[in-house]
C-alpha cells in the first residue's frame, strides 16, 4: 500500500475511532469485547499532526504482511559508553513518527508533540519476516567484515511516541511473538510501549512476550527515552521466551522520571531479567507484584551474556560519576526472585530484590526502603549469590585511592526473621558504603519460625561480603533499630549479644 494513502486512511480511521470512543456505551462494549476473533483488522496507525489522538479498537498485526510500513532512522541507543546515535530499522503498529511522504525515511527536522495513542483492541507483532528481510543489512557481531551492514538493530514497536509530552495508553492486549530463526546472530529488539520526554506511558491491559527468541533478542514492555516522563503499569506484563539476552519490564535511561508498578510483572527467561531499571535521577516504586525467574539456556544454545550482565532483579539502580541526587527505590508490594539452575549453570548469575550497580564516582548517596516482602530462592547444584539487596562494585575502583565508593542509605526495611548468618541473603555486598544512621528493620514472623529462637543481627550476619577483593564501608551500624512486625508478637533484642528473637505478645 502506498504510504500517502495509508496516512490519509489512518487519519480518517482515527477520527472515526476517536468520536466513537467518546460514547459511554461503546466504551463499555470495548471493555467487554476482548476476544481477538471478534476484532476487525486494522492498518498500522500513524499520527503526523501534533495534538492529535488515535484510538485502536480493532486488531493491528505487523510482521506478517508485505504492506507493513518499515522505516529507517538514526536513533539514540544506550550503550556501555552512554547514548550513541545508530542506524536502525523500525516497524511500529501505532506511532507519531514524522515520515517523508512516500518514503521509508524519518524526517528528523520535525517533532510531532502532544499526541495521544490509545489501544483498546489488540496489537500483534511477529519478528520472523522482518528479521529475514533485513538480516543481511544488519550488524553481525560474530563476523569481522561489517561492510554493507549499516543497521545496528531490527526493532519492532507496539506503541511508539518520539515527540514530547505525549500520552500512550494500553487498555487492550499487546503481544509479541519472537518467531524468527533462533540461530540468527543479529540484534532483534522489541518494545510494547515507548515514549519520549514528558510522556505519560500507562499500561492498563496485558503485554505478552513469547516464542523462541535468539541469543541477541531484547525486549521491553515499557521504555522511557526522554527526561521528565512517567511510566505506570496497572495491568499485566508477561515474558516467557526460550532464548533471550536482555529483558526488562520497565526501563528508563533518562532523568527526572517516575516509574511505578501497581500491577503484575511475571517473567521466565534464560537471560538478564529486570523488573524496573533506571540510569538517572528517577523515582522508582513497586506497589504490585514482581515475579521473575531465570532458567538455564536451552540445550544447543549459547548465551552471549558477560558476567557484568548476569542478573535477575526486581528494582535496578546504576550509579555513574555524573549523577548528583538519586531518589530512593521503594518497594511496598511483593518481589519474588528465583534462579533455576542445573549442572551446567554459570555461578556468575546473581539474583536480588534490589540491585545497586556501583561504577564509582562522586560518593553520591541513594536511599532504599522496603515496606513490602522480598523473597529469593534458587534450585540446582550450583550456588548463586542472591539477596534482598545486592551491591555490585566495578573492579576499576580498586585502583583508586581512596576508592570511589558510592553510598546507599537504608531507611525502613521489612524482612522475615531467619538465620541471616547462614542464609547470607539480606544485604549482599561487593563494594559499598552502607549507611545505617537512620535505619530500622522490621522483623516478620513466618509459619516455620519457632517462637523464642534467637538469631544473630551482628554486622557480619546481616551484611555478607560476597567479593573479598572489596572492603565495604559500614556507617552508623550502632544506630540500627530492630522492631517486631505483625500482631501477636513482640521483639526480644539483646543488644550486647547482638541477637534477636520474637516472643508471643501478652
Q: How far is CA 411 from each of CA 118, 313, 323, 494, rounded to the nearest angstrom?
A: 39, 20, 21, 22
Give residue 78's pLDDT: 66
Q: Smallest Cα–Cα separation from 458: which of 504, 489, 416, 427?
A: 427
Give residue 101's pLDDT: 59
Give residue 473's pLDDT: 86
Cα first-last separation, the chain: 77
DSSP per-residue string spanning 65-101? -TT---EEEEEEEEETTEEEEEEEEEEEEEE---BPT
Contacts of 482 by beta carbon, 8 Å cutoff, 6+ apart: 440, 441, 442, 443, 457, 491, 493, 500
384-430 residue pLDDT tens: 999 999 988 776 655 666 555 667 889 999 999 999 999 999 999 98
Q: Please answer whether residues 319 and 366 qualify as being in contact, where contact means their C-beta atoms are separated by less than 8 angstroms.
A: yes
115 phi-psi bin (left φ>0, alpha ψ -120 to 50, beta other): beta
Percent of the chain with pLDDT over 70: 85
Count CB atoms within 10 A of the CB of residue 257: 24
Query: Residues of the chain whose pLDDT is less than 50?
Result: 1-33
Give residue 396's pLDDT: 63
Dihedrals phi, psi of 49, to nearest 5 degrees: -125, 125
Q: Please answer whether residues 209 and 219 qualify as being in contact, where contact means their C-beta atoms are separated by less than 8 angstroms.
A: yes
Give residue 73's pLDDT: 84
Query: What stretches of 377-428 show up as alpha helix (H) in DSSP?
Result: 420-423
**Cα–Cα dist 123/176, whole Å:** 8
Query: What stretches of 295-434 show up as alpha helix (H) in DSSP?
Result: 420-423
Give residue 372's pLDDT: 97
86-142 residue pLDDT tens: 889 999 999 998 876 566 777 777 889 999 999 999 999 999 999 999 999 999 999
User: What residues does each domain of the chain span?
Assistant: 3-504
Give residue 22's pLDDT: 41
Q: Smallest Cα–Cα separation from 484: which of 416, 410, 422?
A: 416
Strand partners, 379: 340
Contacts of 27 by beta carbon, 8 Å cutoff, 6+ apart: 21
Give residue 107's pLDDT: 77
Contacts of 170 by beta carbon, 8 Å cutoff, 6+ apart: 119, 158, 159, 192, 193, 202, 203, 204, 205, 207, 235
Amino acid at each position: 500500500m502506498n504510504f500517502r494513502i495509508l496516512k490519509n486512511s489512518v487519519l480518517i480511521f482515527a477520527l472515526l475511532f476517536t468520536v466513537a470512543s467518546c460514547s459511554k456505551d461503546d466504551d463499555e462494549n470495548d471493555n467487554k469485547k476482548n476476544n481477538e476473533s471478534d476484532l476487525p483488522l486494522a492498518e498500522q496507525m500513524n499520527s503526523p499532526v501534533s495534538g492529535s489522538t488515535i484510538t485502536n479498537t480493532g486488531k493491528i498485526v505487523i510482521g506478517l504482511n508485505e504492506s507493513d510500513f518499515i522505516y529507517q532512522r538514526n536513533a539514540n541507543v544506550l550503550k556501555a559508553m552512554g547514548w550513541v546515535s545508530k542506524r536502525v530499522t523500525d516497524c511500529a503498529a501505532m506511532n507519531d513518527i514524522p515520515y517523508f511522504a512516500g518514503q521509508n525515511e524519518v524526517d528528523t527536522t520535525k517533532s510531532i508533540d502532544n499526541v495521544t495513542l490509545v489501544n483498546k483492541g489488540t496489537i500483534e507483532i511477529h519478528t520472523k519476516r522482518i528479521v529475514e528481510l533485513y538480516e543481511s543489512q544488519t550488524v553481525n557481531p560474530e563476523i569481522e567484515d561489517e561492510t554493507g551492514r549499516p543497521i545496528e538493530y531490527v526493532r519492532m514497536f507496539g506503541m511508539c511516541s518520539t515527540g514530547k509530552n505525549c500520552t500512550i495508553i494500553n487498555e487492550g492486549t499487546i503481544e509479541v511473538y519472537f518467531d524468527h530463526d533462533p540461530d540468527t546472530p543479529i540484534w532483534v529488539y522489541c518494545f510494547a510501549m515507548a515514549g519520549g520526554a514528558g510522556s505519560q506511558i500507562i499500561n492498563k491491559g496485558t503485554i505478552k512476550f513469547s516464542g523462541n527468541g535468539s541469543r541477541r533478542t531484547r525486549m521491553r514492555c515499557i521504555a522511557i527515552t526522554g527526561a521528565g516522563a512517567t511510566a505506570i503499569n496497572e495491568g499485566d506484563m508477561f515474558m516467557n521466551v526460550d532464548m533471550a539476552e536482555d529483558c526488562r519490564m520497565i526501563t528508563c535511561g533518562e532523568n527526572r522520571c517516575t516509574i511505578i508498578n501497581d500491577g503484575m510483572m511475571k517473567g521466565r527467561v534464560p537471560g538478564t531479567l529486570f523488573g524496573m531499571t533506571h540510569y538517572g535521577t528517577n523515582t522508582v516504586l513497586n506497589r504490585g507484584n514482581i515475579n521473575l525467574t531465570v532458567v538455564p539456556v536451552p540445550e544447543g544454545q549459547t548465551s552471549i551474556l558477560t558476567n557484568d550482565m548476569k542478573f535477575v532483579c526486581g528494582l535496578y539502580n546504576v550509579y555513574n560519576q555524573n549523577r548528583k541526587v538519586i531518589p530512593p527505590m521503594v518497594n511496598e508490594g511483593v518481589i519474588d526472585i528465583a534462579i533455576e539452575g542445573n549442572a551446567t549453570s554459570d555461578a556468575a548469575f546473581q539474583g536480588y530484590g534490589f540491585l545497586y550497580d556501583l561504577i564509582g564516582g562522586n560518593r553520591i548517596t541513594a536511599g532504599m526502603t522496603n515496606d513490602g516482602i522480598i523473597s529469593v530462592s534458587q534450585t540446582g547444584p550450583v550456588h548463586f549469590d542472591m539477596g534482598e539487596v545486592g551491591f555490585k562494585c566495578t573492579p576499576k575502583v580498586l585502583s583508586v585511592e581512596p576508592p570511589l565508593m558510592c553510598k546507599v542509605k537504608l531507611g525502613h526495611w521489612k524482612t522475615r526473621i531467619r538465620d541471616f548468618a547462614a542464609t547470607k541473603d539480606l544485604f549482599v555486598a561487593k563494594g559499598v558504603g552502607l549507611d545505617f544512621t537512620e535505619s530500622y528493620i522490621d522483623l516478620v514472623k513466618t509459619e516455620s519460625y519457632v517462637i523464642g529462637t534467637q538469631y544473630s543481627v551482628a554486622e557480619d550476619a546481616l551484611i555478607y561480603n560476597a567479593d573479598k577483593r572489596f572492603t565495604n564501608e559500614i556507617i552508623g551500624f550502632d544506630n540500627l533499630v530492630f522492631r517486631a512486625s505483625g500482631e501477636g508478637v513482640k521483639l526480644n533484642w539483646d543488644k550486647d549479644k547482638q541477637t534477636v528473637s520474637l516472643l508471643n505478645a501478652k
